[in-house]
Amino acid sequence: MIAFEKKVDDLKEHHEKGRVVTELEKQNIFQYRERIEGNYRISCAIEDKTVIIHTIVDSRRSIEELLIKKLLRMYS
C-alpha cells in the first residue's frame, strides 16, 4: 500500500489525529478534519462512528472555492 492509501486507511482508526479544516474553522464549523499527504489534503467527517471522506484535494488549489461549489451543489 502506498503512503497516500495508508493515510486514508488510517483515518478509520485515528480520525481524531487530523486537524480541523482551517477554512471551515474560521466559519465556526468544527466537525470536518483533515490529514495532509504530500500535496493532498484529505478531509473527512465522523457520522455515527463512520468516517466519511468528503474531499481529496491538491493543496495548491483554493479549498475555499471548492467547498463553496460543493455546498452550493448540495443545497440547490
Query: Each residue of 29-75: pLDDT tens digit?
Result: 888 888 888 888 888 888 887 888 888 888 888 877 777 777 778 77
| Closest to 58 (Cα-Cα) out of 71, 41, 44, 70 | 41
- Higher-confidence residue: 11 or 38? 38
Q: Which fold has domain 3-74?
A: YaeB-like fold (3.30.2310)
- Main-chain dihedrals φ then ψ at residue 49, nearest 5 degrees: 65, 15
For the chain, the domains span: 3-74
pLDDT tens digits, 14-23: 767 788 988 8
**pLDDT for the residue 57:** 86
**pLDDT for the residue 35:** 86
